[in-house]
Copies of this chain bind each other. A is one copy, B any other.
Amino acid sequence: MIIVMQPDADEKAIEAVEAKILAQGLQVHISRGTERTLIGAVGDERKLDPEMFDPMPGVEKSMHIVKQYKIVAREWHKANTVIDVAGVSIGGKTVQVIAGPCSVETGPQMDVAAAGVKAAGARLMRGGAFKPRTSPYTFQGKGVEGLELLRTAADAHGLPIVTELMDPRMLETFLQYDVDVIQIGTRNMQNFDLLKEVGRTTKPVVLKRGMSATINEWLMAAEYIAAGGNHNIIFCERGIRTFETAYRNVLDVTAVPVLKRETHLPVIVDPSHAGGKAWMVPALSCAAVAAGADGLLIEVHPNPCDAWCDADQALTLAEFATLMEQLGAVARAVGREL
């Protein structure tokens, strides 16, 4: 950590900063420049925080030099982590596609969806039983019955399941239904109590990016899960909030190469929530794979017009099958497989 002193900071102020660093067990290195004196804290600076120094007399600002995440950082774990989900590898050479409806509705809907996404080449199935909705007056998901329907449909077609957990009190139920991958949604990326709970399991976790979370905050949220002992974390970029109103979110495709550089964990992309319209999904899916994503999370519905939720962003099964073919070509163009 570096503490930049104000131009008129006196020796007493410098000594006070020095004493605080030493008290934390780190060493001090002082550099007196022409306009500012800089004080370096040498040692494990993860114990320090800018707010410890910024209010001190004579301090202009202070900043971390080293990133605050450790377990998830590639710096300390050079090789890619490949996560095994019931025999399906995420993070290896093959780009994995997780597909299915936004919300679980009925048994027949789920069965048709499972058969269709499987036939098109998806290797995992998604479906929401608990739905975070902006309005309390809209459909909130089928709850436990939804988990049951998802489990049954996916099992019939040999697909592991991915579904969202919103409340720590439901974790036990998720484990009973043996949910293969627990999804933490964008609104809960910094629900730290929930992160701690899934950190105590060994279940793979898809950690969606908060809609206005920085890359650093996202990595720190993953560090919460990892610090609990669960290192099976999959990052999922799903679009960020900006000033643009022509589409729901802006898919941050740059996050893919940046995360692949910063962390050894897999990175997937949700093109459906990013754009918010089904017609945008093919272009965004191709872009994500071309940028190096390890997988995609795509909404597919047997009959989008009648979907109970996010109807405007779901692909039909036919559209999905066509997209999968194109994605195969793009994956091969960048040295991957589908």
Binding site for B on A (CB under 8 A): 2, 4, 7, 29, 31, 33-36, 38, 40, 42-47, 49-52, 54-56, 63, 65-66, 68, 75, 132-138, 140, 166-169, 187-188, 190-193, 196, 211-212, 214-217, 220, 223-224, 227, 240-247, 250-254, 256-258, 261, 274-275, 277-280, 283-284, 286-292, 304-305, 307, 309-314, 326, 329-330, 332-334
Copy number in this complex? 4
Q: Is the CB of B283 within 8 A of A4?
A: no
Q: Report chain B residues within 8 Å CB of A43.
A: 33-34
Q: Sample 20 A-B pairs with CB under 8 A, ordered by A number.
A: A2-B38, A29-B33, A34-B44, A35-B45, A35-B66, A47-B137, A140-B192, A166-B191, A216-B246, A240-B242, A240-B243, A241-B243, A247-B254, A250-B252, A254-B280, A254-B283, A258-B280, A290-B291, A329-B333, A333-B333
CA distance A136 to B65 in the complex (A): 18
A192 close to B132 (CB less than 8 A): yes
Contact of A2 among B2, B278, B330 (CB under 8 A): B2
Interface of A is mostly: mixed
Min CB distance A212 to B, Å, is: 4
With A137-B68, A251-B254 as contacts: A33 and B40 at CB distance below 8 Å: yes
CA distance A289 to B283 in the complex (A): 10
**Closest B residue to A137 using CB positions:** B46
Q: In the complex the two chains form, is B34's CB within 8 Å of A31's CB?
A: no
The docked-state distance in angstroms from the alpha carbon of A252 to that of B243 is 12
Closest Cβ of chain B: how far from A280's Cβ, in Å? Answer: 6
Cβ contact within 8 Å between B36 and A31: no
User: Is B305 a contact of A56 with CB atoms below 8 Å?
Assistant: yes
The answer to whether B287 and A253 have CB atoms under 8 Å apart is yes
Known pairs A4-B65, A253-B253, A280-B254; A167 contacts B166 (CB<8 A) = no
